[in-house]
């Protein structure tokens, strides 16, 4: 294990970045800010499940970016969590302190930032909006695209015009338009399976619609099929599939629970066209992007777009036998996608209990 250094942000002297198209000659310092574990919940409860998932993504990103030649990695860390993050220099966010102040101090010293944050409450959008015009490179999608993708009904209506196959979606006032026997109600800006209600019949659908905050919930038929997630690399209207992953989602007590995924379990070729259409429709997607979909009756239907690192990233390097951070950096350094991405070599199991299980 590498030792973790502690330091005062104000005392940082990181030198000047040198960008070249050959990644072997880049000298740079990057801050990876994972919102849940990096102080975003200071003064609030820190749920262990959210912290565990955040740590999985953070550790994977730190491990990949620190392996790039000349790349020095920095992170923020909630004081309630272990500060032993191998390969990163850590700034602790203490009781009563603000992660905003720490980020602001870093903004004048690092050369790149990568935000890993939830879309709900416009958290990811607000971070990227605030720092998108700074002198450093922001390794995230464009803020306006993040904001659109953060709101499911707005995304649904936008992508209808681009003829992207999607699960039919409506507000409470229009539930009669839905077809099917079972339905789901989910927050309009929700993330993954969080706060999704599974409705067993039309009576439950009507009751849920009558009691719902009509501006903050959407309704869909419950489509059974293969739950898939795509790990994409995007740049200005173009998209490449890094891996196609099978998700394990369990029905439990009127809700849906995410149990894990198998990275690289599905064939890239079957999803390549679908991924390209999404990238063309949303040219503001940049770098790593996660897409959730369901495959039913040989049709791929979009569930949601996550314009950030997702949990599938945890197993991506092992599945590919290569470092995906090199391609993320290449996108931003060269303003273009890599010419070729190798296919996954081996499927990799990822879950919240065991992390990555090859």
Q: What is the CATH number of the domain that holds 175?
A: 3.30.1490
Q: Do 192 and 134 fall within a single domain?
A: no
CATH of residue 87's domain is: 3.40.50.11770
Contact indicator for 289, 314 with CB cutoff of 8 Å: no
Looking up residue 274, the CATH number of its domain turns out to be: 3.30.470.20
Assess whether 204 and 179 both reside in one domain.
yes
Establish if 156 belongs to a structural domain.
Answer: no
pLDDT of amino acid 195: 83
Looking at the domain assignment, is residue 179 inside a domain? yes
Within 10 A of 336 (CB to CB), how many other CB atoms are there?
A: 12
**Residues 209, 230: one domain?**
no
Kindly state whether residue 153 falls inside one of the protein's structural domains: no
Residue 323 and residue 317 in contact, taking contact as beta carbons nearer than 8 Å = yes
Query: Which of 351, 346, 140 minimizes the C-alpha distance to 243?
Result: 346
Cβ(36)–Cβ(54) under 8 Å? yes
39 and 22 fall within a common domain = yes
In a domain, 163, yes or no: no
Q: Write out the two tokens for 199.
A: 């409705």
Domain match, 25 and 136 both: yes
The residue written with tokens 């969080």 in the block is 194
Q: What is the DSSP letter of 74?
A: E
Same domain, 15 and 134: yes
Domain end among 203, 221, 239: 221
pLDDT digits (tens, 9 = 90+) for 199-208: 999 999 999 9
Cα three-residue angle 292-245-349, rounded to 5 degrees: 125
Q: Which of 140, 158, 181 is the last residue of a domain?
A: 140
Q: Note whether residue 247 is domain-resident.
A: yes
* CA-closest candidate to residue 289, choices 233, 346, 235: 233
Is 158 a member of any domain? no
> What burial letters (b/e) apply to 198-220, b meaning 16+ CB within 10 Å?
bbeeeebbeebbeebeeeebbbb
Sheet holding 71-78: strands in order across? Answer: 89-93, 71-78, 28-34, 112-116, 137-138
- The stretches in the chain having pLDDT less than 50 are 1-25, 357-358
* Residues 165, 169, 175: CA angle, nearest 5 degrees: 145
Helix (H, G, I), strand (E, B) or coil at 257: strand
What range does the domain containing 336 cover? Answer: 225-357
Tell whether 211 and 302 lie within a shared domain. Answer: no
Distance of CA 178 to the CA centre of its chain: 29
**130, 104 in Cβ contact below 8 A?**
no
Between the alpha carbon of residue 24 and those of residues 61, 65, 70, 109, 326, the distances in Å are 18, 13, 8, 22, 10
Is residue 133 located within the same domain as residue 234?
A: no
Judge contact between 125 and 149, C-beta under 8 A: no
- Structural domain total, the chain: 3
Asked if residue 323 and residue 287 are part of one domain, the reply reads yes
User: In this structure, are 136 and 173 located in the same domain?
Assistant: no
Q: Is residue 145 part of a domain?
A: no
Domain C-terminal end among 178, 198, 221? 221
347 found inside a domain: yes
> 131 and 240 in one domain?
no
Task: Looking at the structure, tell me whether residues 186 and 202 fall in a common domain.
Answer: yes
Q: In this structure, are residues 202 and 180 in contact, taking their beta carbons and an 8 Å threshold?
A: no
In degrees to the nearest 10, what's the CA dihedral of 316, 319, 321, 327? -30
Round to whole Å and give the CA distance between 212 and 176. Answer: 15
């Amino acid at each position: 294990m590498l030792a973790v250094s502690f330091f005062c942000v104000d005392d940082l002297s990181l030198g000047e970045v040198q960008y070249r198209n050959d990644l072997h000659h880049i000298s740079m310092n990057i801050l990876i800010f994972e919102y849940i574990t990096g102080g975003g919940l200071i003064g609030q409860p820190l749920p262990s499940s959210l912290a565990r998932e955040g740590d999985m993504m953070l550790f994977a990103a730190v491990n990949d970016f620190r392996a790039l030649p000349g790349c020095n990695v920095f992170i923020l860390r909630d004081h309630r969590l272990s500060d032993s993050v191998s390969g990163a220099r850590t700034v602790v966010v203490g009781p009563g302190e603000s992660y905003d102040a720490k980020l602001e101090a870093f903004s004048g010293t690092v050369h790149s930032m990568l935000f890993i944050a939830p879309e709900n409450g416009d958290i990811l959008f607000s971070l990227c909006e605030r720092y998108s015009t700074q002198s450093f490179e922001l390794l995230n999608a464009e803020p306006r695209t993040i904001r659109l993708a953060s709101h499911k009904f707005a995304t649904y209506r936008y992508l209808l015009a681009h003829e992207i196959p999607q699960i039919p979606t409506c507000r409470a006032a229009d539930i009669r338009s839905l077809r099917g026997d079972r339905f789901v109600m989910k927050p309009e800006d929700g993330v993954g399976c969080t706060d999704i209600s599974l409705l067993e019949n039309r009576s439950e659908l009507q009751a849920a619609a009558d009691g719902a905050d009509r501006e903050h919930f959407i309704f869909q038929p419950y489509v059974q099929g293969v739950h898939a997630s795509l790990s994409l690399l995007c740049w200005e209207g173009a998209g490449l599939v890094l891996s196609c992953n099978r998700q394990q989602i369990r029905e439990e007590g009127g809700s849906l629970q995410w149990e894990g995924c198998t990275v690289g379990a599905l064939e890239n070729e079957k999803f390549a066209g679908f991924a390209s259409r999404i990238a063309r429709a949303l040219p503001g997607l940049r770098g790593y992007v996660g897409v959730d979909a369901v495959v039913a009756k040989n049709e791929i239907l979009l569930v949601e777009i996550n314009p950030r690192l997702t949990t599938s990233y945890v197993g991506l390097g092992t599945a590919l036998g290569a470092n995906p951070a090199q391609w993320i950096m290449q996108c931003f350094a060269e303003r273009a996608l890599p010419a070729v991405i190798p296919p996954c070599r081996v499927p990799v199991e990822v879950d919240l209990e065991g992390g990555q299980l090859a």
